[in-house]
Structure 1
Amino acid sequence: MVTVSGQNLYQDQISETKRQRKSVSFNCKITGRCWEGYVFWYQKRESEPFTWILWTDLDDNSVSSDTTHPQRADFSVSKESGSSQLKIQSVKESHSATYYCACYQSSGTHIFGSGTRLYVTDDPIKTPKLTVYPASEPEPNGKTTLLCLASGMFPDIVKISWKMKDKTGRTIEVPKGEEVQQRDERKTTSMIIIDKVKAVENNLICSVKHEGGNNEVETPQVMFTEKPTEVPPTTMVVPTCPPRNESQGPATLEVAYDSFQSMVSLNLASLAYTLMIVKSLVYCCGLAVLLQLRNKGSRPSSLYIY
């Protein structure tokens, strides 16, 4: 949902999965008023820019006829009590894309809805499996982390949200600022960072919205083991040379000798590599002189290359 200047565009369908030659509709609920009543519909394919399909006037239900979209004839639009519906009567694979409704503002900008993804396939819809991982131990700032994983679904688009249910049974949404989501193929992970006090005093609920149906999992009561408020600083032990005594003297000398041998070997290798480079440079210079003399038509009487 997008909200700007009192206008709300809400596309409640996150995805639609259809077989070829089936019909599909995309709904866009509008609260407030678009500038001059115009609602636009756009198509967005993978790795391609937005393509304008058509616009419609909500006041008289007229539809634009000057669009240049190559599939314009496949689309129709209708108006229903504060909403605009885009329809495809017979879907094809080439219709696979995300469809957005948009409002035009007098300032010259467009406000877009959240979009609905269309999948044209014979694959069956699979609802997601929800897994909630226990809370981590609180950080020094009093925050703790919970994870909710939605996996194994098709289509792979879901919307995950978190709710809190207090002791009275009242349920409230967790602010979006406390949630982070990561999406991979057929897997979406939502991580919530929340105060320890809230986590202990409320039951947290992971809720998922999917084309195959909505589901939610209530986390068990979060409990933490109390720890001391002060933690002693970690001491790093730096190894030092052993004390000099007769029993350890020969071992120390042996280590030093091995280190000396390694250093000498490294220096010899570096010297040999340098000599090889110098020899290659001399050879290249001599070859260049030969080629230059030959191009001038003269032969050198003798030229030795070492």
Structure 2
Amino acid sequence: MSSNDAERGKEAKQPQVSAYPVSTPQNEKSVLLCQARGMFPDLVRFTWKAKDQRGSILELKDAEQLEQRDENPVQITSMLIIDQHKAMNNKFTCSVQHDSSFKDNEVDIPKEVTQKSNANITCPSPKAEEEDEEEPMNTGVFELSRSLHLFSVTYVILLVKNVLYFCTVSVLLYKRNSANMEMFKSKAR
């Protein structure tokens, strides 16, 4: 039996959805985190919603949304980068769509962590064996922060590499064209 046949025989499993509090602002931007894990198939779609203090729905067109996928076990994290003022003054909800459920799993993003709430806010309720796998929220936020930092460093390195490649090719083309011009001038004489 191949691994694809084994995967086809598995039953769909709902994701365990966790929300993390608003990050401390940097450069007047805050990061909201929502994570889905333990699902099968491992395809989910995140939707972010925001309501102001009067209950009016806000548009998130100026927000930047990133997704990160980690293997073993599969975890997909959605990060919403938003203006600090909006993050602190509005209520945000993360909605996760998955094939195993007819309704979306929704979880509110907490404003801050208190001393009492050191565990993940989770919806739907996990099974008993999954509760043993819970990690403290501080570790999860640290790992996500580190992953986001590594992603940023990798992105900058790739940009620098592309700029160096472009400059090298430009210099080589310029030298080739200069050599061709000199050759044509010497043959023309």
How high is the TM-score relative to the length of structure 2?
0.50
5+ residue gaps, structure 1: 1-92, 94-118, 224-306
Asked if the contact 2:44–2:96 (Cα under 8 Å) also holds between the matched residues in 1, the reply is: yes
Other structure's SS at 2:50 match: strand
Larger fraction in strand: 1
Asked if the contact 1:163–1:172 (Cα under 8 Å) also holds between the matched residues in 2, the reply is: yes
Superimposed CA distance per residue, residues 111-131 of structure 1 (whole angstroms, 9 cap, x where no aligned partner): xxxxxxxx9712111111111
Asked if the contact 1:162–1:205 (Cα under 8 Å) also holds between the matched residues in 2, the reply is: yes
Superimposed CA distance per residue, residues 169-228 of structure 1 (whole angstroms, 9 cap, x where no aligned partner): 2224533851100123431111111111101111011111100121110112359xxxxx
1:137–1:146 CA distance, 2 compared to 1 (3 A): same
Mapped to 2, the partners of 1:177 and 1:194 lie a distance apart of 5
Mapped to 2, the partners of 1:145 and 1:215 lie a distance apart of 20
Q: Confirm whether residue 136 of structure 1 aligns to residue 23 of structure 2.
A: yes
Match of 1:219 among 98, 109, 120: 109
Q: Confirm whether residue 147 of structure 1 aligns to residue 37 of structure 2.
A: no
Asked if the contact 1:164–1:171 (Cα under 8 Å) also holds between the matched residues in 2, the reply is: yes
What is the total number of aligned residue pairs between the two structures?
106
Q: Hey, which bits of structure 1, 4+ residues long, moved more than 6 A?
A: none
Mapped to 2, the partners of 1:221 and 1:133 lie a distance apart of 9
Q: In terms of mean alpha carbon deviation, does 161-170 or 146-155 score higher?
A: 161-170
Instruction: Work out the percentage of aligned pairs sharing the same amino acid.
Output: 44
1:136–1:142 CA distance, 2 compared to 1 (3 A): same
Asked if the contact 2:50–2:60 (Cα under 8 Å) also holds between the matched residues in 1, the reply is: yes
2:83 aligned residue: 195
Mapped to 1, the partners of 2:98 and 2:75 lie a distance apart of 12
Equivalent residue letter for 2:110: P
Mapped to 2, the partners of 1:159 and 1:172 lie a distance apart of 20
How high is the TM-score relative to the length of structure 1?
0.32
Larger fraction in helix: 2
Other structure's SS at 2:9 match: coil
1:165 aligned residue: 51
1:51 aligned residue: none
5+ residue gaps, structure 2: 114-189
Superimposed CA distance per residue, residues 101-150 of structure 1 (whole angstroms, 9 cap, x where no aligned partner): xxxxxxxxxxxxxxxxxx971211111111111222111x2111121110
Equivalent residue letter for 1:197: H
Other structure's SS at 2:94 match: strand
Higher relative contact order (CA 8 A, sep 6+): 2
Equivalent residue letter for 2:106: E
2:64 aligned residue: 178
Asked if the contact 1:200–1:222 (Cα under 8 Å) also holds between the matched residues in 2, the reply is: no
Based on CA coordinates, which of the two structures has the bigger radius of gyration?
A: 1
